[in-house]
Structure 1
Amino acid sequence: MDSGRRLLDAAAVVAAGVVAGLLLNLAHVPSAALFGGLLAGLVRALAFPGSLRVPRIAMTAAQAVIGVTIGALVRLSTLGAIGEHWLPVLLVTVGTLVLSLAAGQLLRLQPGISPVTGAFSMIAGGASGITAMARDLGADQRMVAVLQYLRVLIIVVLMPVAATAVYGASTGGGAPSAPDTPGWAAGLLFTVVCAGVGAVLGQVSRIPVGALLGPMLVAAVVDLTGLSHGAEVPGLVENAAFLVIGLQVGVTFTRESLRTVGRALPLALAIIAALVLGCAGLGALLSSATGVGELDAYLATTPGGLYAVLATATQSGADATFVLAVQVLRLFVMLLSAPLLARWLRGREKV
């Protein structure tokens, strides 16, 4: 009976997460499946503390799928758009990482936030990947998830306004054309192979968060060699992975952790605003150093909301290929450097 009740309990929470995700998707909330799972898990955790956990195997599978999703963003044609501007782009990417670290240390002014949690909460870009790996690297996954996606929401709302009012973008462009990609079955095969091989390599090589970084690197190599033929993670599989990550974060909430997040929000909002402005400044420097348009550089350096950035770039007539190249490069730098940053920050905390 206890086993049956636990199964029904878990099924009810998953169903609630799915329904919440669908409703949030209708409201055009980014990563709606993740938010839906987070809300369902949070409500369940506050109502019945400590009685439900996401199985480790489900979390590992979700990390692997998200890794493949990120790795599949890499294309030779896209990265080639950086071309002769690779050095300024790399410097701006490193500058974004430095800004993120500085913002994370400012967040530590709020009591109860560790150096790793502060840094991961403010890393600009790769919200889904950072959230998925946060717990494994010693950060408070709850704080990281809330603040990462708070920044994404702010950017999604303000970016089109800034692009139009500040950079003179027009909103009359067409919608992005659908890429010519293989079918669902090919995408599922691509996902399973990259996730499986990547997870094994990640475990054998003992890289931190190998369940995510291993599949990400394998998918990137498969894409760059042309073996994927443009295959992508099926939307249903990707949403299921986001749902699992959201549930994992949600069910670990307590009333005290929720109060801690609430107390951190005013300071976090101010720091996020400063981070967004700082990244816009890096965009101005990128435009000056490379000669690319100010709008292109602004969208390329916007700290988060990748798909919203690409939609804005396409609809405003900006160079979407260049924007995607810079965003993907930053995404990889942030995720690959995260384990090293976590180790360094934990070491400093002990000194």
Structure 2
Amino acid sequence: MTRMLRWLLLVVATIAVTVPLDFVGVPSAALFAGLAVGIALALASLAPERMPHPAGVIAQGVLGVYIGTMVHRDAVDALGSHWLIVLVITVGTLLLSVLAGGLLGLHRDVSPLTGSLALVAGGASGLVAIARELGGDDRVVSVVQYLRVALVTATIPLVVTLVFHADRSHPASVSSETDSAPWYLSLAMLAGIVAVGAVGGRLARLPGAGLLGPLALTVALQLTGLSFGLTVPVLLVQAAYMVIGWQAGIAFTRESLRAIGRILPLALTLIVVLGAATAGLGVVLANVTGMTQLEGYLATSPGGVYAVLATAVETGSNVTFIIAAQVLRVLLMLFAAPLMARGMARLGRRRGGHDPALDVPVAAAARR
């Protein structure tokens, strides 16, 4: 099969899978579809050989800007005097993630770096996008991260109903944004932010600069009111998700799939334990701030941001506070994870200098 036909098959099949997944509300449906289709075609020897590097960098930048636009000044203000306890709880979540990732890294098929990235409780799509650049196995990271997101998203309605007996008769009101920039201004700003952020991030030696540079720049513009209602077109976000999914998916081999199969029982156990531990942090947050136990749980849920938002609205919870806490968690995880990865990479070299899931040097995995 020619190179062009392979790409056409990949694109058409991914779109065909994305549409029904998006219809039923699967988080980041295009990324999940790109990953699944990429794996299937790779195992059938029908996938393109590799993802062009510029496409990956652009996808990271678009995703960085998209995540950055979630930050709003009113959400930050909503934390008020509780900002310190929210920060402490968020750091606690990060430490629990690192501990869980370290335990996963003890498995013979996972390096400490890959294990830590795979179980960081926040920013799943961003971490998948930069895992390879940081020296981890993005295939393991993508599978474990989206297993976490799927489990958290699926269990939120059950926990809210069976544990908290939430009242859905008085939903909260959510103010809609009416000052979005015209599409042509948003596209121009998007291109400028991606270019300046990526270059600036590299000059500043920021790990994962293609994602974190544009993300940091967008957050700064949002908080200073200079974003002028910047929005990222849905089609571009979907395309970025697909590219990130393809990047991990088409690199799969039968051996790597078997290795991930051996990892999943331990990963699943750690995800459940991590979810229970963060629920405990939610109880602490509720007791300190005077919020309800339900609001504490939603504010500290380790993933499923859109499911959390929908549930908060349905149950009449403090939506602004919950989203502010969730956005703070995602930002901290994304910026802390690359720094943490450096330490994990050193630990991995002490263990033998290779990524067991691939049975190739970690440095080589990062260059692929």
TM-score of the pair, normalised by structure 2: 0.91
Q: Which AA in structure 2 matches 1:154?
A: L
Which range moves more in the overlay, 313-322 or 290-299?
Answer: 290-299
- Please point out which of 55, 76, 79 is paired with 1:58: 55
Q: How far off is 1:176 after superposition?
A: 4.8
Match of 1:187 in 2: 186
CA deviations 1:6-36 (Å, max 9, x no partner) are 1221122112111111121122211110011
Cα distance in 2 for residues equivalent to 1:312 and 1:281: 19
Q: Verify the 8 A CA contact 1:50 1:252 in the aligned structure 2.
A: no
Which range moves more in the overlay, 208-217 or 229-238?
Answer: 229-238
Q: Verify the 8 A CA contact 2:122 2:329 in the aligned structure 1.
A: yes
Write the mapping of 1:316-331 to structure 2, written as runs, cut at 5 A.
Answer: 316-331=315-330
Q: Verify the 8 A CA contact 1:164 1:171 in the aligned structure 2.
A: no
Cα distance in 2 for residues equivalent to 1:103 and 1:45: 30
Cα distance in 1 for residues equivalent to 2:337 and 2:101: 13
Q: Which AA in structure 2 matches 1:239?
A: Q
Match of 2:365 in 1: none
Match of 1:264 in 2: 263
2:140 maps to 1:143:
yes
Match of 2:149 in 1: 152
Match of 2:361 in 1: none
Q: Which AA in structure 2 matches 1:269?
A: L
Cα distance in 1 for residues equivalent to 2:53 and 2:7: 14
Q: Which AA in structure 2 matches 1:298?
A: Y
Match of 2:124 in 1: 127
TM-score of the pair, normalised by structure 1: 0.95
Q: How far off is 1:51 after superposition?
A: 5.2
Q: How far off is 1:177 after superposition?
A: 5.2
Quote the RMSD (CA, aligned, Å): 1.6
Match of 1:29 in 2: 26
Q: How far off is 1:346 after superposition?
A: 1.5
5+ residue gaps in structure 2?
351-368
**What is the aligned residue count?**
348
Q: How far off is 1:229 after superposition?
A: 2.7
Match of 2:274 in 1: 275
Q: Verify the 8 A CA contact 1:49 1:254 in the aligned structure 2.
A: no
Match of 1:220 in 2: 219
Q: How far off is 1:189 after superposition?
A: 2.7
Structure 2 residue matching 1:82: 3-state secondary structure: helix
Cα distance in 1 for residues equivalent to 2:175 and 2:290: 27
Q: Verify the 8 A CA contact 1:108 1:115 in the aligned structure 2.
A: yes
Distance 1:112-1:20 versus aligned 2 partners, 3 A rule: same
Structure 2 residue matching 1:81: 3-state secondary structure: helix
Match of 1:86 in 2: 83
Match of 2:232 in 1: 233
Cα distance in 1 for residues equivalent to 2:301 and 2:151: 11
Cα distance in 2 for residues equivalent to 1:191 and 1:310: 25
Q: How far off is 1:147 after superposition?
A: 0.7
Q: Which AA in structure 2 matches 1:307?
A: Y
CA deviations 1:32-81 (Å, max 9, x no partner) are 10011112211111111785211000000000001101111111111111
Q: How far off is 1:165 after superposition?
A: 2.0
5+ residue gaps in structure 1?
none
Cα distance in 1 for residues equivalent to 2:46 and 2:23: 30
Which range moves more in the overlay, 43-52 or 172-181?
Answer: 172-181
Which range moves more in the overlay, 162-171 or 259-268?
Answer: 162-171
Cα distance in 1 for residues equivalent to 2:53 and 2:347: 30
Structure 2 residue matching 1:189: 3-state secondary structure: helix
2:342 maps to 1:343:
yes
CA deviations 1:67-115 (Å, max 9, x no partner) are 1011111111111111101111111011001110111122134321000
Q: How far off is 1:221 after superposition?
A: 1.0
Structure 1 residue matching 2:317: 3-state secondary structure: coil
Cα distance in 1 for residues equivalent to 2:287 and 2:149: 26
